[in-house]
Copies of this chain bind each other. A is one copy, B any other.
Amino acid sequence: SIEEIDDKIDLAVIAIDAKKCIEAMEKCGEKGIRHAVVISGGFSEVGNEELEKELLGIARKYGIRIIGPNCVGVFNAKNGFNTFFQRNMDFPHYGSVAILTQSGTFGIALMEKLANEGIGISKFVSYGNKADVDEIDLMEYLERDEETKIVAMYIEEMGREFFERKFKKRIIILKAGRSKLGQKAASLHTGAMATNYEIFKGVCKQKKVIYADDFEEFFSIIKIASLQGFPKGKRLGIITNGAGPAVLACDFIEEARNVELADMVDLTGSAKASDYIEAMKKMKADIILLVFVFQDAPLAESLEELYQGLKEIDKFCIAVAIGGSFVEEQKKRLLKLKIPVFEEPKVVINSLDKLLIK
Secondary structure class of chain A's binding surface, majority of residues: helix
Is A124 in the interface zone, CB < 8 Å from B? no
Count identical subunits in the complex.
Answer: 2
- Tell me if A184 is interfacial: C-beta within 8 Å of chain B: yes
* Complex Cα gap A177–B300 (Å): 27
Mask of A237-275 contacts with B, CB within 8 angstroms, 1/0 = 000011111111011111100000100100011000000
Contacts of A241 in B (CB 8 A): 105
A207 at the interface (CB under 8 A from B): no
Q: Contact between A181 and B251 (Cβ–Cβ < 8 Å)?
A: yes
Chain B residues with Cβ below 8 Å from A181 are: 250-251, 253-254, 261
Q: A251 vs B183: C-alpha distance in the bound complex, in angstroms?
A: 8
Residues A214 and B250 in contact in the complex (CB < 8 Å), given A185-B264, A323-B112: no
Interchain CB contact (< 8 A) of A269 among B105, B180, B243, B245: B105
In the complex the two chains form, is B251's CB within 8 Å of A179's CB? yes
Would A242 and B104 count as touching, CB distance under 8 A?
A: yes
Q: Which residues of B contact A176 (CB under 8 A)?
A: 244, 247-248, 251
- Of B41, B87, B156, B215, the residue contacting A344 (CB under 8 A) is B215
Given A214-B248, A324-B116, A86:B182 Cβ within 8 A? no
Contact between B106 and A242 (Cβ–Cβ < 8 Å)?
yes
A246 near B185: Cβ-Cβ < 8 Å: yes
Contacts known (A41-B268, A344-B214); A108 close to B251, Cβ less than 8 A: no
Q: Which of B213, B297, B347 contacts A86 (CB 8 A)?
A: B297
Which single residue of chain B is at the shortest CB-CB distance from A327? B112
Name A266's closest neighbour in chain B (CB-CB).
B185
Interface flag for A89 (CB, 8 Å): yes
Residues of B contacting A322 with CB < 8 Å?
A: 109-110, 112-113, 215
Q: Is A6 an interface residue (CB 8 A)?
A: no
The answer to whether the Cβ of A44 comes within 8 Å of any Cβ in the partner chain is no
1/0 per residue A324-350: CB within 8 Å of B? 111100000000000000011111000
Residues of B with C-beta under 8 A to A148? none
- The answer to whether A103 touches B243 (Cβ under 8 A) is yes
Interface size on A, residues (CB 8 A): 71
CB distance from A33 to the nearest CB of B (A): 25
A101-129 interface with B by 8 A CB criterion: 101, 103-110, 112-113, 115-116
Residues in B neighbouring A293, C-beta threshold 8 A: 105, 108-109
**Any B CB within 8 A of the CB of A130:** no
Whether A243 pairs with B105 at a CB distance below 8 angstroms is yes
Q: Which of A214, A268, A323 has the most CB of B within 10 A?
A: A323
Chain B residues lying within 8 Å of A108, measured Cβ to Cβ, are 242, 293, 295-296, 323
Bound complex: CA A328 to CA B109 (Å): 12
Cα distance, A248 to B343, chains bound together (Å): 22
Select one of B246, B297, B345 contacting A215, CB under 8 A: B345
Q: Provide the residues of chain B in CB contact with A211, threshold 8 Å.
A: none
| Structural contact, A180 and B254, CB atoms closer than 8 A | yes
What 0/1 pattern do residues 156 to 194 of A give for CB contact below 8 A with B?
100000000000000000001111111011100000000
Chain A residues close to B by CB (< 8 Å): 41, 85-90, 101, 103-110, 112-113, 115-116, 154, 156, 176-182, 184-186, 213-216, 241-248, 250-255, 261, 264, 268-269, 293-297, 300, 322-327, 343-347
